[in-house]
Structure 1
Amino acid sequence: MRVFVVDEDSQTAAEIEAALAKSGYSVTVGSDRTATLGYDVVFLGVRGDDGTEACREIRRVSDVPIIVLSARDDRAERVRGLRAGADDYLVKPVCMEELEARLEAVLRRTRGGKTDVLQAGDIQIDARRYLVWRDGRNVPLTPKEFALLRRLVQTPGEVVTKQTLLLENWKDLSRSAARTLDVHIAHLRAKLGEPNVVETVRGVGYRLVP
């Protein structure tokens, strides 16, 4: 997910870049507010009364979602900006948690409700950004652990055979590969924490118990 940040306030731009990069977004900070090609969303910092014209400039060349950032908490200005093409409006100083939540909401709306997030019980997986949460807590996983969990989350409550997991992830049905799978499952369980949701079905495989 690519994010473009345009803001003369370099401190705010840097804070947004750091916060979103930590959450797995690819963030670019720039100065040309019309250089939006290839981005999924734009954070547009405005000063004074230039917000309306800035939104119009972007809308002339792109339909990318725009979230305006302004130091002015002025209702008339917000209305003008939204009518000029902004998708959301945030007043500085910005709470990064709220900013990310609004970003996610804008993306849900503008992508027609489509999402890359899988959920089973209290486990959420963002397949696009390779992120996992359990009960709101971020769970860092290796690529192989992520692939195994994603496969189990796709069919919660159903058994996924060892053979299936081995062929999909290692293309190998040997005993050594099976032991490697067992080790990865053990690490996955440890990282997800209690209560255990990855259940062993002896002699068959594993299933996720949401």
Structure 2
Amino acid sequence: MRILLVEDDEDLRFAVAAALRGDGLAVDEAADLAAADAALFVTAYDCVVLDRMLPDGDSADYVRRLRADGRTVPVLFLTARDTVADRVEGFATGGDDYLVKPFAVPELVARVRNLCRRTAVARPPVLHCAGLEIDTARRAVHRDGVLLTLTAKEFAVLETLAAQPDTAVRRTELIEKCWDELTEPNSNVVDVLISQLRRKLGDPPLLHTVRGVGYRLGPPA
């Protein structure tokens, strides 16, 4: 899942981005609305986290314009503006959630994940594939009833593959959904992580390389 974080306070942006990445989410960062607009133009995000007051305007007005243009990406306002009127305005302009500073990081991560699930159309909370059970809410994976220990990034990649079982998923799609803009598309990060996943999933192998395309999760062809 890929998140756009828009916050002009550099220290806070760094801390929030680190927390989201630590939970396995891919995070792109922006410090103002102009940068956010450029990012949204080229990338399909699962959720946008927006500070209300940014150097180039009130993000509530920006979200109103997004909705008027038919953009449906979920938006969480993260702001110090804490009156009832502020919160009502945030929802009225098209925001999906509103979290007031200071906030608890685990709550922020939970709220972001909840909004991301809204973009996973018709996806069940528990995915099944060739003996794997992937609980997306509890972030737990079992194979034939045995609990597997995965890193947050390994889980993100496995979840993306399991959402398209027995289908070749391109490396570029895995990078787009599971890594952020700092990742070099031609690097071997995907291949290294797939190798780690194969070892943890065990035998018989469920992760298969589709030459010239990417990877497939499922039983041997």
TM-score (norm 1): 0.57
Letter in 1 for 2:52: V
Q: Percent identity among equivalent residues?
A: 30
Partner of 1:3: 3
CA contact (8 A) 2:46 2:119 kept: no
Q: Structure 1 115/16 Cα, relative in aligned 2: closer, same or farther at 3 Å? A: farther
How many angstroms does 1:139 deviate by? 4.3
Distance 2:82 2:17 in 1: 23
Map of 1:147-166 to 2, 5 A cutoff? 147-148=201-202, 165-166=204-205
CA contact (8 A) 1:33 1:58 kept: no
How many angstroms does 1:118 deviate by? 3.8
How many angstroms does 1:92 deviate by? 0.7
Letter in 1 for 2:65: E
Distance 2:19 2:149 in 1: 14
1:54 partner SS: helix
Partner of 2:113: 104
Q: Structure 1 26/116 Cα, relative in aligned 2: closer, same or farther at 3 Å? A: farther
Is residue 2:74 matched to residue 1:65?
A: yes
Distance 1:107 1:169 in 2: 25
Which structure has the greater CA radius of gyration?
1
Higher RCO (Cα < 8 Å, 6 or more apart): 2
How many angstroms does 1:86 deviate by? 0.4
Q: Structure 1 170/52 Cα, relative in aligned 2: closer, same or farther at 3 Å? A: closer
Q: Over aligned residues, Cα RMSD in angstroms?
A: 3.4
CA contact (8 A) 1:51 1:81 kept: no
Is residue 2:83 matched to residue 1:74?
A: yes
| Gaps in structure 2 of 5+ consecutive residues | 143-147, 155-195, 210-221
How many angstroms does 1:147 deviate by? 3.5
Partner of 1:40: 46
Partner of 1:93: 102
Is residue 2:151 matched to residue 1:143?
A: no
Q: Structure 1 63/132 Cα, relative in aligned 2: closer, same or farther at 3 Å? A: same
- Number of matched pairs: 148
TM-score (norm 2): 0.55
| Gaps in structure 1 of 5+ consecutive residues | 149-161, 172-210
Residue in structure 1 matching 2:60, options 52, 55, 69: 52
Distance 1:97 1:10 in 2: 20
1:93 partner SS: coil
2:66 partner SS: helix
Distance 1:170 1:139 in 2: 18
How many angstroms does 1:108 deviate by? 2.6
Distance 1:57 1:2 in 2: 22
Letter in 1 for 2:46: D
How many angstroms does 1:125 deviate by? 4.4
